[in-house]
Amino acid sequence: METTHRVRVGDARDLPLADDSVDLVVTSPPYPMIEMWDDVFAALDPAIGDALDAGDGDRAHDLMLSVLDEAWAEVARVLAPGGIAVVNVGDATRNLGRFRVYDNHARVTDAFESLGFDPLPGVLWRKPTNSAAKFMGSGMVPPNAYVTLEREHLLVFRNGQRREFEPRAERRYEAAYFWEERNRWFSDVWDDLNGEHQTLADPELRERSAAFPLELPYRLVNMYSVYGDTVLDPFWGTGTTSLAAAISGRHSVGVERDDGLADAFDDRIRDAPALSRDFAASRLDDHRTFVGESDDDFEYAADHYDTRVRTKQEQGIRLYEVTDVEPTLDGWEATHEPYEE
């Protein structure tokens, strides 16, 4: 199996992709009203900078969300019917004349609903490392302290009706997950993932990126796509979504305005062979530990691995590893082989 991984330097509001050409979107846009993204938003719409300078947080917030709305319209255009879009976004707190929270997750949900998407149950990603202290405001005395925001939202939307597959489609059943993975991954709170430490050599690139941990898009890619699907990240950043797609046996496309970030990805995708083996080995080890520690019966034997499984749907699970990565004219091609222990 071969997969392709392309990155385009461009604008998420004008995706260089055909209609209905991707199966899954996993992305984390710049968060409105988070100060590190002010210059990015102001460059896209100078009125945002004017509003911030005037201390008009409400107007700045609305204008920032309007910029994102244009990107979501492009997502609606390129996402195939039945495809899933997952948006990682956090709310923001800020003091522009008065202190308040800006509800980014609710406004992004409204935007996708207006485009005809169906919101599905999402995930609260709890990030305890975000805060150096457990209080904001007046410290130890009431009533003017504030709750700290230690979670972000993984918003999940479906473009129309559920996808249909041929009965017992091999690529779908090979891409199944283990029973206990399903229970953990499809929980509505994830509290076992920390933010990603930047490994980029250039400190200026680190300042212009805000990567989520690889495990996060890896889970989402395996939850909402099958082998051979195409995964898009229109706010590509350091390419973590593409890396997750590569080690999961999916194609990927990324769109990124910063050509420096795009160039730096060549080093990251070279790690795909080792990462894919590590992820596959870890999943099998974790599953065997789960089986060994459980008092329940595991009625079925896996077809490709020496382990029992709980359900018939798990029997055909087949993990893949990346055996080679080669540059192409417009990105990279990864070769995948079944993972063998």
- pLDDT (tens digit, 0 to 9) for every residue of the chain, 341 residues total? 999 999 999 999 999 999 999 999 999 999 999 999 999 999 999 999 999 999 999 999 999 999 999 999 999 999 999 999 999 999 999 999 899 999 999 999 999 999 999 999 999 999 865 455 555 666 678 888 888 888 999 999 999 999 998 877 788 999 999 999 999 999 999 998 875 544 444 444 334 445 689 999 999 999 999 999 999 999 999 999 999 999 999 999 999 988 887 778 888 999 999 999 999 999 999 999 999 999 888 999 999 999 999 999 999 999 999 999 999 988 999 999 999 98
Q: Is the pTM of this model over 0.85?
A: yes
Q: Give the CA-trace dihedral at 185, 23, 314, 161, to 10 degrees.
A: 90
Contact indicator for 40, 100 with CB cutoff of 8 Å? no
Q: 80: helix, coil or strand?
A: strand
**pLDDT at residue 138, rounded to an integer:** 64
pLDDT at residue 209, as a whole number? 45
Q: Give me 6's structure tokens.
A: 């392309």
Taking every pair of C-alpha atoms in the chain, what is the biggest distance, in angstroms? 66
pLDDT of residue 297: 87
Cα 240 from Cα 217, distance rounded (Å): 7
Output the pLDDT for position 263.
Answer: 77
Identify the bridge partners of residue 335 per DSSP, sorted by sequence position.
Answer: 2, 324
pLDDT at position 132 is 53
- Could you tell me the domains of the chain? 2-338 (3.40.50.150)
pLDDT (0 to 100) of residue 135: 54
3-state DSSP percent of the chain in helix, strand and coil, to 5: 35, 25, 40
Contact indicator for 46, 58 with CB cutoff of 8 Å:
no
Residue 253, pLDDT score: 97
- Residue 94's alpha-carbon distances to 98, 108, 134, 237, 336, in angstroms, are 8, 19, 17, 24, 46
